[in-house]
């Protein structure tokens, strides 16, 4: 292989959808001669793929741009040019304001326009000016991006199947930054999954901002549900594990619940945000479900798959949230019990309805609530992990760990598992006997025989 002529430094913030987009961006730039580097000082092109979901994330981008501006000047002194591009949701939300606040930036590109990056690069160079593309173009970026290559890949991969959101939760920027809900066609997704499998991928996580609202066109012309898509992807030869995220409680239909009990490849893990434990707050959030709807849904899911590991997103300090309403959140956490969860202090996002509500909760109150909530969630996570000790689980060995001779994999419940095994076993779904559990991960002994038929015993 010839050495790539130019170097690309690509930094990803935020969610898994950005991780997926970054891979596609790198693949789109490879034909132009860009190879990735981890050394920013060597990069001819620096791309920050940004996240706008919470305030600090956008601020981090600006401080990062300050630092990169210094690197750009230092390179210029050595006669080297550096193109700086900001992609992702901050790019979409802030648009031209980015080049005004950080003039070192050459290109601002929204998430729907990545297929245009090669053109934007040419324009930025030729016209020697800032280029901003934050349109929601008519053409479909997925069809315009180069097909995924068949070179070896790590055994677990993301695959975006749906983008955007029509739910309009009052705290959330996603419907504005990622636009209206859109589902890719089934055939396109199946082809991509087959290519991933040929490249050594054994586990695929189907991604979407509201993935279970998926309604892509099937080969039969009908709109397929996520449940139907999961069954189809599970049947792709070489794909042995399937996951999906993120779901909305309103879109958990009967068939999707049934899939958890019926399709062996669908892993016993579900990320299902509930956001708040009070009906008044849920209504103010425009969540379109009540606490009781969520409770009943969880009961049905556990009936279909008793050992399912549940994860969720929770916001504390939504405008007007009282102590009693926050206590209701803690009670729901106690009642449901989560294997893991993400929790956040409410942060007003410009342009969203909740940002204009007057009764914002004071910062110290939010901090206290978050600490209390995280204490409860951490205890549940530790208990879930501890309950795994002594079990033998099928673990997909994904990559070398930090210690020599160590590999890191994932259990069916998405827990990281550390184990001593040779690197040649990466990509294997090995039987691992769990010997100890920490707050965030497990440790285990890998059995010598691979792919033992394992029963994943109920944890609840
Ligand atoms: N403030 C705090 N948390 C937020 N999230 C989304 N918007 C906000 C906001 N304005 C959280 C939600 C969502 C997760 C991805 O981020 O819990 O599910
Ligand atoms: Fe945002 Fe999720 Fe609500 Fe859509 S469903 S508006 S992505 S929090």
- Under DSSP, is residue 408 helix (H, G, I), strand (E, B) or coil? strand
Distance of CA 294 to the CA centre of its chain: 22
CA distance 457 to 97: 53
Q: How far is CA 422 from CA 127, 155, 426, 427, 438, in A?
A: 52, 16, 8, 11, 23
Q: Give residue 58's pLDDT.
A: 78
pLDDT digits (tens, 9 = 90+) for 232-270: 999 999 999 999 999 999 999 999 999 999 999 999 999
Per-residue pLDDT of 396-409, as tens digits, reads 999 999 999 999 99
Q: What does the mean pLDDT of the chain come to?
A: 93
pLDDT above 90 for 155? yes
Q: Is the Cβ–Cβ distance between 298 and 312 less than 8 Å?
A: no
Above 80 in pLDDT, residue 17? yes
DSSP letter (8 states) at residue 411 = -
77: pLDDT strictly greater than 70: yes
Q: To test the ligand 2 pocket, which listed residue (167, 246, 313) has its Cβ within 8 A of the most ligand atoms?
A: 167
CATH fourth-level superfamily of 149-387: tm_1862 like domain (3.80.30.20)
In contact, 103 and 109? CB cutoff 8 Å = no
Helices in 128-278 by DSSP H: which ranges? 141-144, 174-177, 186-198, 226-234, 254-262
Q: What values do phi and psi take at 108, rounded to 5?
A: -120, 120
Distances 255 to 212, 226, 308, 317 between C-alpha atoms, Å: 11, 9, 16, 35
Residue 24 has pLDDT above 90, yes or no: yes
Residue 457 has a pLDDT of 40
- The bound ligand whose nearest atom lies closest to the alpha carbon of 162 is 2
Would you state the pLDDT for residue 456?
A: 46
Ligand 2 centre and the CA of 163: distance in Å?
11
What is the arithmetic mean of pLDDT over 425-437?
Answer: 97
Report whether pLDDT(148) > 90: no
Reported as a single tens digit per residue, the pLDDT across 117-126 is 999 999 988 8
Instruction: Tell me the two tokens of residue 132.
Output: 């901003």
Indicate whether 1 pLDDT > 60. no
Q: Which ligand sits closest to the CA of 16? A: 1
Q: Token pair of 130, please?
A: 């800032």
What confidence tier does 278 reach under pLDDT thresholds 50, 70, 90? very high
pLDDT of residue 449: 58
For residue 239, what are the CA distances in angstroms to 11, 131, 264, 266, 302? 28, 40, 11, 10, 25
Judge whether 149-387 and 392-457 match in fold.
Answer: no
More confident residue, 147 or 213: 213
pLDDT in tens, 294-319: 999 999 999 999 999 999 999 999 99
Q: Which overall architecture, per CATH, does domain 6-133 show? A: 3-Layer(aba) Sandwich (3.40)
pLDDT digits (tens, 9 = 90+) for 189-220: 999 999 999 999 999 999 999 999 999 999 99
Instruction: Spell out the residues 6+ positions from residue 302 whose beta carbon is closer than 8 angstroms to its own.
Output: 308, 460
| Structure token pair of residue 212 | 């279970």
Say yes or no: CB of residue 17 within 6 Å of ligand 2.
no
Count H helices and E strands in the chain, helices first.
14, 19
pLDDT band at 55 (very low <50, low <70, confident <90, very high): confident
Strand partners, 434: 444
Average pLDDT over residues 34-45: 95
User: Ligand 2 pocket check: which of 51, 92, 172, 281 to mutate, most ligand atoms within 8 Å of Cβ?
Assistant: 172
Got the DSSP string for 336-364? Answer: H--SEEEEEE----TTSGGGG-S-PPPHH
pLDDT at 458 over 70: no
CA distance 157 to 324: 42
**Percentage of the residues of the chain whose pLDDT score is greater than 70:** 96
Instruction: Supply the pLDDT for residue 427.
Output: 96
Between CA 370 and CA 357 the distance in angstroms is 21
Q: Are 320 and 309 a contacting pair, CB within 8 Å?
A: no
Q: What is the residue whose two structure tokens read 């609840």?
A: 460
- Is there a contact between 439 and 378 (Cβ–Cβ < 8 Å)? yes
Closest CA to 121 of 110, 111, 131: 131
Rounded Cα gap, residues 385 and 380, in angstroms: 9
Which residue do the tokens 């199947």 mark? 161
Q: Where are the domains of the chain?
A: 6-133, 149-387, 392-457
| pLDDT in the model for residue 3 | 55
74 CA to centre of ligand 1 in angstroms: 38
Contact 84, 72 (CB under 8 A): yes
Q: Which fold has domain 392-457?
A: OB fold (Dihydrolipoamide Acetyltransferase, E2P) (2.40.50)
* DSSP state at residue 171: T
What integer pLDDT is reported at residue 350 of this predicted model? 87
403: tokens are 């210690």
Pick the more confident residue, 23 or 54.
23
pTM comes to 0.92
Higher pLDDT, 128 or 362: 362
Cα–Cα distance measured from residue 51 to residue 45, given in angstroms and rounded to the nearest whole number: 19
Give the binding-site residues of ligand 1, using a 6 Å CB cut-off.
53-54, 171-172, 273, 275, 313, 315, 344, 346-347, 349
Atom of ligand 1 nearest to the CA of 275: 17
């Amino acid at each position: 292989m010839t050495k790539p002529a130019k170097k690309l430094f690509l930094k990803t913030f935020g969610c898994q959808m950005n991780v997926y987009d970054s891979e596609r961006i790198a693949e789109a730039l490879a034909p132009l001669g860009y190879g990735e580097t981890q050394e920013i000082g060597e990069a001819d092109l620096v791309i920050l793929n940004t996240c706008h979901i919470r305030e600090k994330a956008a601020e981090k981008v600006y401080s990062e741009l300050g630092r990169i501006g210094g690197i750009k000047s230092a390179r210029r002194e050595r006669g080297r040019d550096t193109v700086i591009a900001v992609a992702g949701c901050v790019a979409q939300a802030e648009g031209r304001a980015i080049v005004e606040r950080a003039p070192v930036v050459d290109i601002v590109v929204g998430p729907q326009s990545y297929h245009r990056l090669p053109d934007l690069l040419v324009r930025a160079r030729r016209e020697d000016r800032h280029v901003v593309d934050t349109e929601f173009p008519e053409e479909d970026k997925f069809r315009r991006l180069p097909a995924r290559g068949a070179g070896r890949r790590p055994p677990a991969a993301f695959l975006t199947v749906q983008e955007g959101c029509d739910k309009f939760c009052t705290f959330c920027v996603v419907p504005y930054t990622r636009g209206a809900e859109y589902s890719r066609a089934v055939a396109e997704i199946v082809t991509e999954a087959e290519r991933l499998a040929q490249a050594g991928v054994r586990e695929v996580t189907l991604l979407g901002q509201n993935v279970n609202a998926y309604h892509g066109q099937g080969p039969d012309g009908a709109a397929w549900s996520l449940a139907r898509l999961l069954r189809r992807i599970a049947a792709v030869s070489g794909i042995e594990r399937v996951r999906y995220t993120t779901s909305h409680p309103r879109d958990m239909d009967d068939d999707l619940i049934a899939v958890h009990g019926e399709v062996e490849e669908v892993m016993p893990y579900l990320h299902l945000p509930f956001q708040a434990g009070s009906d008044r707050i849920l209504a103010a959030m425009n969540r379109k479900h009540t606490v009781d709807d969520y409770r009943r849904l969880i009961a049905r899911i556990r009936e279909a798959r008793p050992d399912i590991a549940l994860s969720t997103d929770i916001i504390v300090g939504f405008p007007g949230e009282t102590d009693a309403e926050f206590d209701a959140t803690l009670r729901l956490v106690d009642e449901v019990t989560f294997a893991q969860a993400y929790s956040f202090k409410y942060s007003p996002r410009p342009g969203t309805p909740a940002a204009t509500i007057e009764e914002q909760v004071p910062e110290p109150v939010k901090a206290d609530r978050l600490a209390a909530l995280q204490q409860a969630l951490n205890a549940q996570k530790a208990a879930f992990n501890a309950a795994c000790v002594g079990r033998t689980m099928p673990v997909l060995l994904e990559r070398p760990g930090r210690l020599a001779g160590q590999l890191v994999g994932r259990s069916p419940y998405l827990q990281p598992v550390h184990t001593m095994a040779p690197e040649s076993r990466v990509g294997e779904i090995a039987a691992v006997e769990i010997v100890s559990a920490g707050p965030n991960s497990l440790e285990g002994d890998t059995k010598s025989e691979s792919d033992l038929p394992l029963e994943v015993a109920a944890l609840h």
